[in-house]
Homo-oligomer: A and B are copies of this chain.
Amino acid sequence: MNSKRVRVALDAMGGDYTPQETVGGAVIAVQDWGVEVILVGPEDAIKKEMDKHHIDDLPIRQVTSERGIREDEPPVAALRQNPRSSIVVATELVKAGEADAVVSIGSTGATMASAIMILGALEGIKRPLVGGAILGFAPETMVFDMGANVDCKPRQLLGFATMGSIAAQKILNIANPTVALLSTGAEKGKGNRLVKETYQLLEESNLNFIGNVEGVDIPLGRANVIICDGFVGNILIKFCEGLGGSIAQRLRNTLRGHLSTSDIEDIATDIISLTNMPDVEGGGLLYGVNGVVMIGHGRSRAPEIAKCIHQAEKAVRSGLIDALRAAWEGVGA
């Protein structure tokens, strides 16, 4: 794997600026990181865009599909009506062993549904998790789940902790990651029913469980893996993004006249980056499905799409999926 190029299937028809930005992102990715990219979309549209770049010698090729699924379509119904849509064909390339990963900046729901239907999920996983670092202040702290699992049972959170621990090992290269539960107090017994019951399960697990952490501990990086349900995780990450934006705007106003415009913009951008990790990293990986699936923001432009492809490549090279599967079988979850 290390010497071979990683092959990434890109849903070239997903996202807000398609296919210009997806094709542009693919070109950056193959040039900067030596991956191979398979652009999935209608031949005419993709080829026309490819012709704008000098890519005859680059490992980029096109595979034909029909249209992309939009964010505003009900995902499962849209997939059913469009069985040759770009996300389906891209995901099938992974299933067939013709690609090592799929990257999409299209509909999150359709990407998740395709992943589950085509690649399959680990046993007991109904919806994949989304996890990763949420703050530049704590780059070695990943939060699980930030996604679709809004009503959770204790055993599900134990599963998040198991996957998060493997993710921190493989993605962050931390040998024995610390795992904590997000709660309203550090002491055992603090928190809601879900947290209290999960605490018990984590204590009995062989994970490196260090107890509860509070909201104030997240920026301090008090644990490598912080576990919460997807309702809390989603609200947190969006609040973080919003607060970072408001603070950046405040600084633009406060610093005006005191520093040069470009210095002020650097400072504002720094704060926005530190509070928008999914943007910095290009997107988030899905956990719990049998393959590397990376989802980026629909509003991504070529450079962000290239980052997304790079993240997918790193996940493939890390051996994450095999490690997750092995850990999952180990706990019999």
A residues with a Cβ closer than 8 A to B are: 135, 137, 150-151, 182-184, 191-193, 195, 214-220, 228-232, 234-247, 250-251, 254-255, 258-259, 263, 267, 270-271, 274-275
Beta-carbon contact of A234 and B184 below 8 Å:
yes
Assembly CA distance A242 to B193 (angstroms): 25
| Chain B proximity of A241: nearest CB distance (Å) | 6
| Chain B proximity of A240: nearest CB distance (Å) | 7
Contact partners of A237 in chain B: CB under 8 A: 215
Assembly CA distance A219 to B236 (angstroms): 12
What is the oligomeric copy number? 2
Beta-carbon contact of B192 and A215 below 8 Å:
no
Contact partners of A245 in chain B: CB under 8 A: 216, 219
Beta-carbon contact of B246 and A243 below 8 Å:
no
Contact partners of A236 in chain B: CB under 8 A: 215, 235-236, 239
Assembly CA distance A231 to B236 (angstroms): 12
Beta-carbon contact of B274 and A250 below 8 Å:
yes
Q: Most B CB atoms within 10 A — which of A150, A191, A270? A: A150
Beta-carbon contact of A258 and B251 below 8 Å:
no
Beta-carbon contact of A238 and B263 below 8 Å:
no
Beta-carbon contact of B232 and A216 below 8 Å:
no
Contact partners of A231 in chain B: CB under 8 A: 183-184, 191-192, 195, 232
